[in-house]
Amino acid sequence: MSNSPTPIFLAENRSWTYWFADGLPQLLIGISVMLFGFFFIYMGTPSLSNALVVLAIVAFAAYMLIQIRAPQILDWLKTRITYPRTGYAASPYFANKNNICRDANLNLPPAPDPNAPAIAEIKRLRKERNRRLSRTYILLALTSLALWFVHTSWICALTGIVMGIILWLGTRADKSVSLLVVLGFPVVGFYVGTLQLNPHARVGSFIFGAGLLFLLEGLVSLLLYLRRNPVANVPVA
């Protein structure tokens, strides 16, 4: 059998890409990472004013809220921005588990042949994608530990470069992260390296900068998306 992508593979992959096309997921990731970075900067700072303590706690609460409610927040945003323009497609990102046996949700027996070629193909595709993304997250987390344990200014630049490479390798297959973020990581690393900061603030600033990159990417994607897709007339079947 040929190894060229089948229409099922392409349709699944397009729905995955479609999820990021409007820039809203990146925007939300950016905001939440910036909030966490902000919290991290002030968490280890001695003798903070009360106002800053409150601000840091609020930032952390907002970060947690976004983490817990991300699907709902995204759906709310997409309902107002994306669906009227280019339509609704359930994201494979949040539907990995209940897509294939969706009928189980309707109290019907699942499809009789879970090893049917088409199902196996989608399963394989999603498994590979999940494995690749998990590996990327783990490598990013491990690399960030260097910032914590090595207290020299050049470590920020090096971490930025390594993270940029990890992100590029981990996401180039589905293009869910643009070059703006990939190339931005070393820039953030170099910049944070020039600042004289304690370890807490250094890690926090790096996280904040990474969040800013995702926020910028989200904004650029959103603007381009809005420009390309004016509101469509809503068709009725």
Partner 1 sequence: MTPDLQALATLDRVVHEPARLMIMTVLYAVPETDFLYLQRECGLTQGNLSSHLAKLEEAKYVTILKTFKGKYPLTICSLTKLGREAFEDYVRKMRYVAGATAGGNGT
Which residues are at the interface with partner 1 (CB under 8 A)? 1, 7-9, 11-12, 14-15, 18, 75-76, 79-80, 83-84, 86-90, 92, 95, 98-99, 102-103, 108-109, 111-113, 116-119, 122, 232, 234-237
Query: How far is C-alpha 192 from the geometric centre of its chain's CA atoms?
Result: 22
Return d(Cα 96, Cα 125) in angstroms, integer: 11
184: CB partners within 8 A, 6+ apart: 164, 209, 213, 216
Residue 79 CA to residue 76 CA, distance in Å, equals 5
Closer of 98 and 198 to partner 1 (Cβ): 98
Minimum CB distance to partner 1, residue 111 (Å): 6
Q: How far is the CB of 176 from partner 1 (least distance, A)?
A: 17
Comparison of 57 and 232: residue with beta carbon closer to partner 1: 232
Q: What does the alpha-carbon distance between residue 168 and residue 222 come to, in Å, rounded to a whole number?
A: 21
Q: How far apart are CA 209 and CA 200, in angstroms?
A: 14
* Closest CB to partner 1 among residues 18, 190: 18
> Given the complex with partner 1, which of 151 and 228 has the nearer CB atom?
228
Shortest reach from residue 18's CB to partner 1, in Å: 8
